[in-house]
Amino acid sequence: MAYSLGKVTFIDTITQKSGFEGFRLLLALTPQKWEAYHRIREKEIFEPIGVSYDRNHPTLSQDNHFHFVLYKGIDIISDAHIEFLTPTEAALRSLATDELYKKKGYGTYLLTQLETWIKHQGRSLLKMHGRLSAEHFYRRLGYYNMPFDDPAFQRECVNLGKTL
């Protein structure tokens, strides 16, 4: 792990020196990535609906759950949580963008990259409990009403899905 952590610092240093402002989508595997992941989720998803956030939730370490961070340059700007439900279905459990980076297309970029990754993992259907305030965002990207018989942690949501 020390090698990996050192490599992360090296890559961030090179990225900063080069002035690279592009995107990198990575799994949250290091303390820095986890901290940003938790910070964004807590502030952008849980606080607005008055639900306390558990940084030690069991899904953070389950094999069928995947936690991503999106970098722009050296800054982590968005995160997402994907769960594999069956050999053909996945669920988008959350997608959030840091307040400073909202309304700039980064959520769209993240979701389209995740859809490609999910498809490459052999899943052909992505389901979610979409927040009502984000319904237009998802529908614009091709999501439609889809039954999702699974508990949602927020009271007001719309069940959506998309064939990938």
pLDDT at 123: 98
pLDDT at 3: 56
pLDDT at 155: 77
In the predicted model, residues of the chain with pLDDT beneath 70 are: 1-5
The parent domain of residue 131 ranges over 2-163
Quick: pLDDT tens for 124-138.
Answer: 999 999 999 999 999
Whether the Cβ atoms of residue 146 and residue 160 lie closer than 8 Å to each other: yes
pLDDT at 140: 98
pLDDT at 120: 98
Helices (H), the chain: 2-18, 31-41, 106-120, 135-140
Domains identified in the chain, total number: 1
* Cα 68 to Cα 81, 93, 146, distances in angstroms: 6, 11, 24
Quick: pLDDT tens for 1-21.
Answer: 555 667 877 888 888 889 888
pLDDT at 40: 98
pLDDT at 44: 96
pLDDT at 12: 82
CATH number of the domain encompassing residue 92: 3.40.630.30
pTM score: 0.91
